[in-house]
Amino acid sequence: MALQPTLKPLIIAGRPDAPHTLDIFLDYVCPFSAKMSLTIDKVVKPLLDAGGKYDGKVKAILRPQVQPWHVASTLTHESALAVAKVAPEKFWSYSVALFKNQTEFFDKAIANLTVTQIREKLVALAVPIIGDDKKAELTNFLTYKSTPNGGIAVTDELKYNIKFGRQNGIHVSPTVLWDGLVANEISSSWTEQDWNDFFKAKVIV
């Protein structure tokens, strides 16, 4: 599937030139997305990364899927895209941290916080992962531009991902595409055996 060059860090597993593609649409404040993210980290990535059984055969792309009924969805996705800019090699590590700490950004948890305060919390979550030396740069990426309604430095990347999801008719998170087609059988409840059976059926080793 297509991926604009500035979003290369969203390839979270496998080689960029791998012939097969898993497009994984996740929302950082969706509990089912969080559940799937842990399986991706523990099961899927080891299979696709260097030395894995499907190394060079399959790549996985995290597709940010903003779900606007979750108040913090846009803000959490913006922060991940900003991390992809300032520390691209840490994008997945930060994504995992977001999923593990997502309850801190649930609606009730942020009900009395301003947008700026929420972004400060997101930066605080990122700093131990990306390094204190990149805190100022990350903060700058998450600061409003001088124009009244122009968004922030990663607004264009956010728009790209939202448009990509809409164009492909993605509504539910998580949703997974295999080589461009929705794989409805894949769910957040899949086990290691389920993933192994899937790849065995789909990939010629």
Average pLDDT score, the chain: 97
pLDDT at 133: 98
Give the pLDDT band (50/70/90) at residue 1.
Answer: low
Q: Which residues contact 166 (CB under 8 A, 6 or more apart)?
A: none
For the entire predicted model, the pTM comes to 0.96
- In the chain, where does DSSP find H-type helix? 31-39, 45-48, 73-86, 91-100, 115-130, 135-141, 155-167, 192-202
Which residue type occupies 66?
Answer: V
pLDDT at 2: 82
pLDDT at 100: 98
Residue with tokens 């991902």, as numbered in its chain: 161
Give the pLDDT band (50/70/90) at residue 51.
Answer: very high
Q: What percent of the chain has pLDDT over 90?
A: 96
Domain ranges within the chain, ordered by starting residue: 5-202
Q: What percent of the chain has pLDDT over 70?
A: 100
pLDDT in tens, 70-92: 999 999 999 999 999 999 999 99
pLDDT at 205: 75
Residue 7 has pLDDT above 70, yes or no: yes
Give the pLDDT band (50/70/90) at residue 146.
Answer: confident
How confident is the model over 121-143, as a mean pLDDT?
98
| Contact between residue 20 and residue 58 where contact means Cβ atoms under 8 Å apart | yes
Residue 203 three-state SS: coil
| Contact between residue 36 and residue 192 where contact means Cβ atoms under 8 Å apart | no
Torsion of CA 122, 13, 51, 178, to 10 degrees: 150
Token pair recorded at residue 78: 């913006």
Token pair recorded at residue 19: 């012939």
pLDDT at 127: 98
Architecture of the domain made up of 5-202: 3-Layer(aba) Sandwich (3.40)
Residue 121 has pLDDT above 90, yes or no: yes
